[in-house]
Amino acid sequence: MEVTASSPGKINLGLWVGALESSGYHPLLTAFQAVDLWDFVTARSDDQMSLEVKGSVDCGLVPHDERNVAWQAARALAKHCGKEEAVALQISKNIPVAGGMAGGSADAAATLLALDALWECGLDDSTLQQLASTLGSDVPFSLHGQAAIGRDRGDALTAVAIEKPLHFVLCPSEGALSTGAVYAEYDRLSPRASVPTAIDPAFLAAWQAGDAEALAPLIHNDLQPAAISLMPELETLATQIEKAGALRAAVSGSGPTMWGLALNAEHAGEIAQALRADGITTWVTQSSLENPRLRLSR
């Protein structure tokens, strides 16, 4: 028997980062938005652990062993449920790799769901979320999907009800940025940073209403200056995206994927067409408004 589960990529419409704490983590306040790009994980019973990765994006940087967070998710679930670490995992990737869109976290979340079904563990949402939080700060949101405010390490989530989707143009970079390197550069640039106690009500209202024009000037990412410091060409790309008509351009998470906000689907298509004419790779997508639980098929 085999089971397939899927999880969406994300962007951070807002990301505020505090100074490094003694715990080794940075406190966060972030506006997580799932987008309609999905990775799929198929799990099949086998006599040993194995992992295969393919997809519509460049997967050259994705490890095929225990370094992969999906492998770690399988190991964590096996230990929790008392199962043998004997499963063949196949990941089909559509989320840009090492792009700040939580593709690895999506794979881990989909693995948890697929193996919970395959092994008939019957874990409740709370237990799955607890397991997810041990695997990485973004994994709980990858289990949650849709839209949420993240606090603490980003793993303490509050769901946000979205009335209307936002539309985006994604521009992945040819290079990659290490999350650790971006945070280290952030620490150098902002050693005494602090985090707001709450998201601006105007930001929240525009986000929920899908009001791109009202939201555009409120978009924020504390990690963007650090990402640009390490990869200066991102600043040029942001200028190109806005010149093509985007209301605002921003780095997703720690980067280097850059996204532009559009008025609607038609406008996003026009922005993408202008960027492609300049030789820039683009994806057009929108907020994912699907059920916050991940899609599961047997």
Could you give the residue numbers annotated as active site? 10, 138
Tell me the HSE value of 82 on the side-chain side, using a 13 A CA sphere.
1
* Per-residue burial over 226-241, b = 16 or more CB atoms within 10 Å of its CB, e = otherwise: bbbebbeebbebbebb
Opening angle at CA 111, ends 286 and 157, nearest 5: 55
151 vs 203: CA distance, rounded Å: 16
Q: Classify burial at 196, counting beta carbons within 10 Å of its beta carbon; exposed 0-12, middle 13-18, buried 19 or more.
A: exposed
Beta bridge mates, 148: 32, 159
Opening angle at CA 128, ends 127 and 133, nearest 5: 100
Q: Which residues contact 236 (CB under 8 A, 6 or more apart)?
A: none
Phi, psi of 107 (to 5 degrees): -65, -40
Handedness of CA 238, 241, 245, 247 (dihedral sign): negative
